[in-house]
Amino acid sequence: MKIAVLPGDGIGPEIVAQAVKVLDVLKKDGMQIELEAAPIGGAGFDAAGDPLPEATLELARAADAVLLGAVGGPQYDRLPREKRPERGLLRIRKELNLFANLRPALLYPELAAASTLKPEVVSGLDIMIVRELTGDVYFGQPRGIEVRHGERVGFNTMLYAESEVRRVAHVAFGIAMKRGRKLCSVEKANVLECSELWKEVVIEVAQEYPEVELSHMYVDNAAMQLVRNPKQFDVIVTGNIFGDILSDEASMLSGSIGMLPSASLDQNDKGMYEPIHGSAPDIAGRDLANPLATILSVAMMYRYTFADMATADRIENAVKKVIAQGDRTGDIWTEGCRKVSCSRMGDAVVAAM
Ligand code: IPM
Ligand code: MG
């Protein structure tokens, strides 16, 4: 198994280093794992003048899976759009055709108090958001800023081909079949033609999954329902921009955005794995970040790309154990728990394995 390791910017290198410790344990236990690192995002720009250097893309293409930290930082915000760290991330998703982004929102019972919502609202929470990742207003053409009638206008295009909706719908239905068999498709079909088509195609695909209970929700209502009664959801499938927003919202249900991993898969389950949080420049380099989302991303890698459920369980159980024994980075710390650094948290997971 060849894994491309792309630490990126900000806290990226710190959190990825903890995930690599976990991979080293697996290696010591006899697994064939080959790791190769390369720069992406601001680090890519610094190294090669490009947020997705050609060599990094080649490495990612050749690898069986990609582990990514995070990209972005204030020092890059003034670069031309094409050179910004976020472009590197968007391009690698597009180039590798990683159209299905799985973002679980799961609450560890011990972290109920870390959520800003009432414990009874979030306890037992287990949602999977399937976000389409290579289409929508993120990539639609035309886009730009230009002068019209003497003033500047900015514009983007929300666009989905039915084949794009169909393939992500199949992924979402497939996941729903393995879980609670409930799928909620989220769009804005009361206003947007793009959403109208989305909904039609999801309904067509549903014919092939009669056991799954399909519902539809407008995105504004979904945003509200996620904080009102999140446990009504099992699997959510939605487009790129709505999924971007709702997955950040859902992450806070689970106490901290620092807990949530993600998988971005192509048609053959090759994937890129990354925490859903960003590069947190404010705490970068201080050994304060929560590495658990990145470590849990490695678990997802074993589950989805390597189809090795036992190893995935092993990593997830180690994280559960560490949480249960009271180790907490600052973002999930509550009274009575032991505050640990990023690297100590990584060591604790290794010990629990
Ligand atoms: C995410 C991030 C990215 C996105 C940014 C960094 C481009 O917010 O992965 O959710 O918008 O997709
Ligand atoms: Mg986001």
SS3 for 28-61 is HCCCCCEEEECCCCHHHHHHHCCCCCHHHHHHHH
Which atom of ligand 1 is closest in space to residue 262's alpha carbon?
A: 9
Name the catalytic one among 50, 244, 327, 331.
Answer: 244
Assess whether 327 carries a catalytic annotation.
no
Q: Which domains does the chain have, with CATH numbers?
A: 1-99+278-353 (3.40.718.10), 107-265 (3.40.718.10)
Q: Closest Cα partner for 22 from 311, 295, 308?
A: 295
Angle 200-205-210 from CA coordinates, rounded to 5°? 120
Closest ligand to Cα 92:
1
Q: Please tell me the residue having the least CA distance from ligand 1 atom 9.
A: 276
Q: Closest Cα partner for 59 from 121, 4, 140, 128?
A: 4
Name the catalytic one among 50, 136, 188, 234.
Answer: 188
Q: Please tell me the residue having the least CA distance from ligand 1 atom 7.
A: 86
Closest ligand to Cα 241:
1
pLDDT for the residue numbered 250: 92
Closest ligand to Cα 278:
1
pLDDT averaged over the chain? 96
Residues with CB under 6 A from ligand 1: 86, 89-90, 244
pLDDT tens for each residue of 70-112: 999 999 999 999 999 999 999 999 999 999 999 999 998 888 8
Question: Which CA distances in Å does 237 have to 100, 133, 136, 250, 291?
Answer: 10, 11, 14, 13, 27
Assess whether 244 carries a catalytic annotation.
yes
Distance CA 84, CA 51 (A): 6
pLDDT for the residue numbered 114: 81
Q: Closest Cα partner for 344 from 3, 18, 8?
A: 18
Assess whether 24 carries a catalytic annotation.
no
In this prediction the pTM is 0.95
Q: Quickly count: other Cβ atoms within 10 Å of residue 221's Cβ.
A: 12
The angle that helices 240-253 and 219-228 make with each other, rounded to 10 degrees, is: 10
pLDDT tens for each residue of 167-211: 999 999 999 999 999 999 999 999 999 999 999 999 999 999 999
**Residue 138 CA to ligand 1 centre (angstroms):** 10
> Is the distance from CB of 236 to CB of 127 less than 8 angstroms?
yes
Give the H or E element holding residue 148: strand 144-148
Distance CA 226, CA 213 (A): 19
pLDDT tens for each residue of 8-23: 999 999 999 999 999 9
pLDDT of residue 278 exceeding 90? yes
pLDDT tens for each residue of 16-66: 999 999 999 999 999 999 999 999 999 999 999 999 999 999 999 999 999
**Residue 337 CA to ligand 2 centre (angstroms):** 29
Ligand 1: residue of 87, 90, 294 to mutate (most ligand atoms within 8 A of CB) is 90
**Residue 244 CA to ligand 2 centre (angstroms):** 4
Distance CA 3, CA 303 (A): 15
Assess whether 220 carries a catalytic annotation.
yes
CA 129 to chain centre: 9
Q: Please tell me the residue having the least CA distance from ligand 1 atom 12.
A: 244
pLDDT for the residue numbered 115: 85
DSSP reduced 3-state for 127: strand
Which atom of ligand 1 is closest in space to residue 71's alpha carbon?
A: 6
